[in-house]
Chain A
Amino acid sequence: MKKFSRIWLRKWGAFPLWGLLILLLSAYPSTGASGIELFTATQIFLWVTLASNWNLIGGMTGYLDFGHGVFFGIGAYTMGILVTNTSLAFAPNLSFWQALPWTGLIAVIFALLIGWATLRLKGPYFSIAMLSTFAATRELIRILRPVTGGGSGLDLPPVLNRVGDYYFMLVLMAIVVSLIGWIRRSKLGLSLVAIREDEIGAEMRGINTTFHKLFAFAVAAFFTGICGAFWAWQNTYIDPDVVFLQNRNILMIMMCMLGGLGTVWGPVIGALILYLLQDSLWSNLADYHLLSLGILLILIILFIPYGILGTLKNNKISLLDLLSRRGFDTPHR
């Protein structure tokens, strides 16, 4: 019994803590937090959710998706087209909640179509294929002017509700991180990790790799689409350039790498740290903002390739090892 509870604690122990944190956070708006505080918190939740989604396909399954922002864009544009009241060819003028399920659904359909083709590719070929998908979709949105408004973009109804936004993203983040935590510990998650470590071996052992990869891709796309839809609503204006931002792809990846690829809590910690860093420190560096982003990325890869959590979990790696960049081949999980 004692042994069982210890195993249970090790496997699920973090979840009650996560629940408690969400509960505490849900009380935050009633402490009289100001608009900017709620807004900042909402953006952190958004990034935690985005990074966690990327981690599912990039970290756990090992398919480094350099164009994951495409699902963000699909979600944003689906929301934009469905809720905006314009004279364009297709403008059903739905409400936010009516449009929301469609944003995720269309992102999933898009993911299945794209994934069916791209997930057969391995390594850098997949990354490049996704990067091209990202750029191609942006141009497609520009060309489909009668529906998307082309380069002039779409004006969403300017309804802003910071408290509502806060709770929406809090709940979405709670769901996504819990779901990914569960997937990681389930047979499904083990299969994904098996695919990452040795895809052919996994297939030999009877894992349906195509199904598993597509499933992970679709789940990640669904929630990323919802995030995009939320962003479009919050920003009240979308055009191809603000929605399909290359920077967003890179940030998602950096947050995962900083926190720890393939871990459940890594993207949470990575997103939190990187957002706050960017917010406070980098706003003072002005022109060197992107430069410092690049240098940080290089430093992460050089010195903590397994991220904060991946490094902490591995007791065998000492600080000296990290600084001398030894111990890379030590199994870290």
Chain B
Amino acid sequence: MKSWLITPLLLASLALTTACNQQSAENPDSSTKTIKIGAAVSDTGKYAREGKDTRQGYELWEDWINSQGGIEVGDRNYQVEIVYYDDESSPDTTAKLVEKLITEDQVDFLLAPYSSGLTKSASAIAEKYDKVMVSGGASGDSLFTRGFQNLFSVYTPASYFTQSILKALSEKGAKTVVIAYEDTLFPTNVAEGTQKWAKDYGMEVLAVETYPRDTADLSAITSKFKSLNPDIFVGGGHFNDALLFVRSAKEQDFNPKAMVLTVGASNPKFVQEMGEDSEYIFGPTQWESSMQHQGNYFGTAEEYAEKYQAKWGEPPTYQAAGASAAALALQMAIDEADSLETEAVREAMKELNEVTFFGKINFDETGKNIDKPMGTIQIVDGKIRVVAPEEIALIKLNYPMPGWKQRNESVSSSSN
């Protein structure tokens, strides 16, 4: 036998043995199985910031559940693997990635992207392939009027944003409301809800105004509102609009007794930017680490925040907490269903009724989380403090807020 024949023979036998080894490794009995969960979230584009928080929230849960030994289904423990892609904040890319997650990566469940708009594109695909999709970053009410069976969101719906504060203020004697909101999906839902709650709590809506996206000047609206002299001013928009509202209110000496601003006020950057002018402003919030929620899994809201801080080196935003809560809801439903079948998990989702660090999670037939009250914060001495609803409030709310001129006097008198 020629010697050069030996090498290929050796190689062939080596290949054969590896093949056999691989076969035995794939034997289901001797391996731990994983549950694959797909998530297309924004790393880039206009939701890059919130997308990053969302992803960190998902990852915190992923690490935590795997360190706990995974999820038990039947008599086997499953590790969890989340497959991430960057949706570029674009509906085209989101659609493509969700399709890819389902048909190519063959994930068992889906976690939704950040924002109501992207979730609209994504949830239609989840529905088509009959996959459960849980959202921790979308609150648009119209997400839940499309008749979808598989979409669930842990957020309090947008139309409930101002409920707790309007209730509290009506008890303090507020009688009139004016509303200004950006003409996009989420603020529109907030404004519609605000009108409803104002009526429910016996208040009169004096005026409703809209303004376009990316506006740079809101003084026309505040000057109109000034002449109406309302008790409550509700501004629905995004971070920048909150800054504009406060600036133009001060400039024009528009003095409502309470200012409620939807997105900006609960963000610590708001206080940094506005300084003393941010005092007394109210802001609805999905979640704050100081809220008195406690659940079986991450413990209290405070304990969750500690875990988050330890992993990511920054305090969690409510977007991050919402993402972890969404994943947690999915985990509890899988636990409850004791199955990985879509139908069983979907039914378990609908039955879910648990208190978690994020608040109560209880989905109605359409997938909305109906039992979690929307919190409201007020900025007091430069700190973000929960003031409503009463059950989770830390301090009593300050009402009415002093006028801009009185404030300057009190500041100058105190400095004297």
Q: Can you list 11 pairs linking A and B with CB atoms under 8 Å apart?
A: A35-B99, A36-B96, A36-B100, A39-B96, A40-B96, A43-B92, A151-B213, A153-B117, A235-B95, A237-B120, A241-B213
Find out whether the CB atom of A151 lies under 8 angstroms from the CB atom of B91.
Answer: no
Find out whether the CB atom of B213 lies under 8 angstroms from the CB atom of A237.
Answer: no
Closest to A285 in B: B44
Find out whether the CB atom of B43 lies under 8 angstroms from the CB atom of A237.
Answer: no
Closest to B91 in A: A242
Find out whether the CB atom of B120 lies under 8 angstroms from the CB atom of A155.
Answer: yes
A139 and B184 CA atoms in complex are apart in Å by 12
Find out whether the CB atom of A239 lies under 8 angstroms from the CB atom of B184.
Answer: yes
State whether the Cβ of A98 lies closer than 8 Å to any Cβ in chain B.
no
Whole-angstrom distance between the Cβ of A135 and the nearest chain B Cβ: 12
Closest to A248 in B: B92
Find out whether the CB atom of B99 lies under 8 angstroms from the CB atom of A236.
Answer: no
Interface string of B85-114 (1 = CB under 8 A from A): 010100110011001101110000000000
Interface size class of B (residues with CB under 8 A): 20 to 34
Given that A139-B212, A155-B142 are known contacts, is A236 also in contact with B121, CB under 8 Å in the complex?
yes
With a cutoff of 8 Å between Cβ atoms, the chain B residues found around residue A242 in the complex are 91, 117
Closest to B43 in A: A286
Closest to A289 in B: B44
State whether the Cβ of A287 lies closer than 8 Å to any Cβ in chain B.
yes
State whether the Cβ of B124 lies closer than 8 Å to any Cβ in chain A.
yes
Find out whether the CB atom of A287 lies under 8 angstroms from the CB atom of B44.
Answer: yes
With a cutoff of 8 Å between Cβ atoms, the chain B residues found around residue A35 in the complex are 99, 102-103, 129
Which residue of the partner chain, among A145, A153, A158, contacts B146 with CB atoms under 8 Å?
A: A158
Closest to A160 in B: B128
Whole-angstrom distance between the Cβ of A36 and the nearest chain B Cβ: 4
State whether the Cβ of A133 lies closer than 8 Å to any Cβ in chain B.
no
Tell me the residues in window 39-77 of chain A with beta carbons closer than 8 Å to chain B beta carbons: 39-40, 43
State whether the Cβ of B148 lies closer than 8 Å to any Cβ in chain A.
yes
State whether the Cβ of A318 lies closer than 8 Å to any Cβ in chain B.
no
Find out whether the CB atom of A158 lies under 8 angstroms from the CB atom of B91.
Answer: no
Not counting A139-B212, A158-B128, a sample of 10 additional A-B residue pairs whose C-beta atoms are within 8 angstroms of each other reads A35-B102, A35-B103, A36-B104, A142-B212, A150-B188, A155-B142, A158-B148, A236-B124, A239-B184, A286-B86
Whole-angstrom distance between the Cβ of B183 and the nearest chain A Cβ: 4
Whole-angstrom distance between the Cβ of A42 and the nearest chain B Cβ: 10
State whether the Cβ of A283 lies closer than 8 Å to any Cβ in chain B.
yes
Interface string of B204-220 (1 = CB under 8 A from A): 00000010110000000
Interface string of A12-46 (1 = CB under 8 A from B): 00000000000000000000001110011001000
With a cutoff of 8 Å between Cβ atoms, the chain B residues found around residue A40 in the complex are 96
Given that A155-B142, A158-B148, A160-B125 are known contacts, is A142 also in contact with B183, CB under 8 Å in the complex?
yes
State whether the Cβ of B185 lies closer than 8 Å to any Cβ in chain A.
yes
Find out whether the CB atom of A153 lies under 8 angstroms from the CB atom of B95.
Answer: no
A151 and B191 CA atoms in complex are apart in Å by 13
With a cutoff of 8 Å between Cβ atoms, the chain B residues found around residue A292 in the complex are none
State whether the Cβ of B231 lies closer than 8 Å to any Cβ in chain A.
no
State whether the Cβ of B306 lies closer than 8 Å to any Cβ in chain A.
no
Whole-angstrom distance between the Cβ of B168 and the nearest chain A Cβ: 28
With a cutoff of 8 Å between Cβ atoms, the chain B residues found around residue A160 in the complex are 124-125, 128
With a cutoff of 8 Å between Cβ atoms, the chain B residues found around residue A118 in the complex are none
State whether the Cβ of A152 lies closer than 8 Å to any Cβ in chain B.
yes
Which residue of the partner chain, among A36, A153, A236, A287, contacts B185 with CB atoms under 8 Å?
A: A153
Find out whether the CB atom of A36 lies under 8 angstroms from the CB atom of B95.
Answer: no
Find out whether the CB atom of A235 lies under 8 angstroms from the CB atom of B183.
Answer: no
State whether the Cβ of A137 lies closer than 8 Å to any Cβ in chain B.
no
With a cutoff of 8 Å between Cβ atoms, the chain B residues found around residue A158 in the complex are 124, 127-128, 146, 148
Interface size class of A (residues with CB under 8 A): 20 to 34
State whether the Cβ of B241 lies closer than 8 Å to any Cβ in chain A.
no
Find out whether the CB atom of A152 lies under 8 angstroms from the CB atom of B184.
Answer: yes
With a cutoff of 8 Å between Cβ atoms, the chain B residues found around residue A36 in the complex are 96, 99-100, 103-104
Whole-angstrom distance between the Cβ of A234 and the nearest chain B Cβ: 7
A145 and B184 CA atoms in complex are apart in Å by 11
Interface string of B34-64 (1 = CB under 8 A from A): 0000000001100000000000000000000
Find out whether the CB atom of B146 lies under 8 angstroms from the CB atom of A155.
Answer: yes
A152 and B210 CA atoms in complex are apart in Å by 12
State whether the Cβ of B288 lies closer than 8 Å to any Cβ in chain A.
no
Closest to B181 in A: A151
With a cutoff of 8 Å between Cβ atoms, the chain A residues found around residue B92 in the complex are 43, 235
Find out whether the CB atom of A236 lies under 8 angstroms from the CB atom of B103.
Answer: no
A28 and B117 CA atoms in complex are apart in Å by 32
A239 and B212 CA atoms in complex are apart in Å by 13
Interface string of A244-282 (1 = CB under 8 A from B): 000000000000000000000000000000000000000
With a cutoff of 8 Å between Cβ atoms, the chain B residues found around residue A142 in the complex are 183, 212
Closest to B100 in A: A36
Whole-angstrom distance between the Cβ of B49 and the nearest chain A Cβ: 13
A286 and B188 CA atoms in complex are apart in Å by 32
Which residue of the partner chain, among A139, A237, A289, contacts B91 with CB atoms under 8 Å?
A: A237
A39 and B96 CA atoms in complex are apart in Å by 7
With a cutoff of 8 Å between Cβ atoms, the chain B residues found around residue A139 in the complex are 212
Given that A43-B92, A151-B184, A158-B146 are known contacts, is A237 also in contact with B44, CB under 8 Å in the complex?
no
Find out whether the CB atom of B185 lies under 8 angstroms from the CB atom of A239.
Answer: yes
With a cutoff of 8 Å between Cβ atoms, the chain A residues found around residue B148 in the complex are 158
Whole-angstrom distance between the Cβ of A152 and the nearest chain B Cβ: 4
A142 and B212 CA atoms in complex are apart in Å by 8
Closest to A279 in B: B96
A34 and B100 CA atoms in complex are apart in Å by 9
Given that A145-B183, A151-B183, A286-B86 are known contacts, is A237 also in contact with B188, CB under 8 Å in the complex?
no
With a cutoff of 8 Å between Cβ atoms, the chain B residues found around residue A283 in the complex are 86
Whole-angstrom distance between the Cβ of A170 and the nearest chain B Cβ: 18
Which residue of the partner chain, among A34, A145, A234, A287, contacts B103 with CB atoms under 8 Å?
A: A34
Closest to A35 in B: B103
With a cutoff of 8 Å between Cβ atoms, the chain A residues found around residue B129 in the complex are 35
With a cutoff of 8 Å between Cβ atoms, the chain A residues found around residue B117 in the complex are 153, 237, 239, 241-242
Tell me the residues in window 145-171 of chain B with beta carbons closer than 8 Å to chain A beta carbons: 145-146, 148
A155 and B148 CA atoms in complex are apart in Å by 12
Across chains A and B, which 4 residue pairs bring their CB atoms closest together, nearest first?
A: A35-B103, A151-B183, A237-B120, A151-B184
Closest to B85 in A: A283
Closest to B143 in A: A155
A235 and B188 CA atoms in complex are apart in Å by 21
Closest to B119 in A: A237
A233 and B190 CA atoms in complex are apart in Å by 27
